[in-house]
Chains A and B, each alone.
Chain A
Amino acid sequence: MGAPLVIVGTGLAGWTLAREFRRLDPNTPIVLVSRDEGAFYSKPMLSNALAGGRSPASLVSTPAAAAAEAIQATVLAQREVVRIDTVARAVVLDDRVVPYRALVLALGADPIRLPLQGDASDRVFSVNDLVDYGRFHAALTTGARVTLLGAGLIGCEFANDLAIAGYHVDVVDLAPLPLGRLVPERAGRAMQVALSAAGVSFHLGASVRAIHCDGARLVVELVVAGSMQAGSMQAEPAEVRRLSTDLVLSAVGLRPRTALAAAAGLTVEGGIVVDSMLRTNALDVYALGDCAQVDGQVLPYVLPLMTGARALAKTLTGVPTAVVYPVMPVAVKTPALPLSVVPAPQGIDGEWSYLEPEGGLEGHFKDREGRLQGFVLGGAATARRAALVRAMGQVA
């Protein structure tokens, strides 16, 4: 039999690779290492589950044992990886050493923690996996007021989900508009309007300075940037604002988990550096998903990960296959204004133009030659997604 394919991580990346690999190779043993129970669940649903009244347990699509049995894999749950030995070709766990024929790092990413002051700065939740979600869900009490740090994709989804489920939501972000890194200004403004109408309060251009205890509640201290006064180099004094809240949820972004790889001598930049075949600089060691920097890009979304898993399954079964990304719109699942976005590519000169369809939003990003290079669809216009993907595909 020989050594197994070892996959570290049982998130969407790890499980998807295991399933795709098994479809192509019925015999080679697969070992998945997980630091939690290893159940298969829908991560994108974590920020859409409250409105549907979903309990954390109900988000598990397949318990670890059943998921493993379905593909004749072994799950080593509740294990920490101590180190990777690329010379001996083995993964050292806290209780055993597992040799590998090929090793795939599907480690995911850690939520970024803002440096905060105050005696309650450690009482900030973040939800990046099912265990986190369970903790957050347990702390939510009926009618609670929740302050969300970050108005990006995950922040907006949580804000909308919490608002629908009857919670009071304050969203804080340093940027002037939500979704600033993903969509053009017009779409960001539309999102702000839609979420505001859904009951979400925005505090934009604001940074969080401290979180203090206040009896059973918390106070979030914000600094709202002052505007520049004409004729003066001095900004107006910043305004300090205090939000009384019950829970603080941080969604300010993710940082790929790279420490294990770096310690094993793998090349690490923004993520674990891999080529288009997802190969690290160590023989038979690969990286996939949120932890990986593929050809210079870290793309922590579902579609890139699924595309990568399918290509890697082929590579690992003897057909070297580069990851070729199709046009991959990012879905923002905010019921108040669902969006489908292909961001304007960096380094391409062009501009956005807009249509105003009934009950929706449609923006096209065209380069100087008039070719469609990105788009944003909102509301009813998201039905045009497939048509625009096709239009972009004809460009490539």
Chain B
Amino acid sequence: MNTYLCIVCGFVFDESTGRPEDGIPAGTLWSAVAEDWACPECGVAKSDFEMVVI
């Protein structure tokens, strides 16, 4: 499981927890997140996220 960071506001999407309140169950892979999903904090597009390197 990976995490993805919104480069604009720092919001983190974690595949392992998903985003149930947006209809994205825990364990959803980033590639399976809808292309029109937007950052819940700042509204930028999915393409404005990058994978967090740990």
Contact = CB atoms under 8 A, between A and B. Distances in A.
Contacts of A242: none
Contacts of B44: 16, 306
A386 B8 contact: no
A386 B21 contact: yes
28 contacts: A12-B8, A16-B44, A40-B7, A42-B6, A42-B7, A42-B8, A42-B9, A42-B10, A44-B8, A44-B9, A44-B10, A44-B41, A44-B42, A45-B10, A61-B7, A62-B7, A302-B41, A302-B42, A302-B43, A303-B41, A303-B42, A306-B44, A307-B43, A333-B10, A383-B21, A384-B21, A385-B21, A387-B21
A298 interface: no
Contacts of B10: 42, 44-45, 48, 333
B40 interface: yes
B22 interface: yes
A190 interface: no
A307 B42 CA distance: 9
Interface of B: 6-10, 20-22, 40-44, 50
Nearest to A45: B10
A48 B41 CA distance: 15
Contacts of A16: 8, 44
A331 interface: yes
A307 B8 CA distance: 13
Contacts of A384: 21
A370 B5 CA distance: 38
A24 B21 CA distance: 32
B8 A303 contact: no
B12 to A, nearest CB: 10
Interface residues of A, number: 21
A306 B42 contact: yes
Nearest to B11: A331
A387 B23 CA distance: 11
Contacts of A326: 43
A285 B20 CA distance: 43
Contact of A306 (B7, B8, B50): B8
Contacts of A333: 10
A42 B40 CA distance: 16
A40 B41 CA distance: 18
Interface in A345-390: 383-387
Contacts of B8: 12, 16, 42, 44, 302, 306
Contact of A302 (B7, B9, B20, B21): B9
A328 B53 CA distance: 30
A333 B6 CA distance: 14
A303 B7 contact: no
B52 to A, nearest CB: 10
Nearest to A61: B7
A77 B21 CA distance: 42
Nearest to A331: B41
B21 A303 contact: no
Residue of A303, A306, A386 with most partner-chain B CB within 10 A: A306
Interface in A266-306: 302-303, 306
Contacts of A61: 7, 50
Contacts of B22: 386
A386 B20 CA distance: 10
Nearest to A386: B21
Contacts of B7: 40, 42, 61-62
Nearest to B44: A306
Contacts of A48: 10
Contacts of B9: 42, 44-45, 302, 331
B42 A385 contact: no
A193 to B, nearest CB: 24
A306 B43 contact: yes
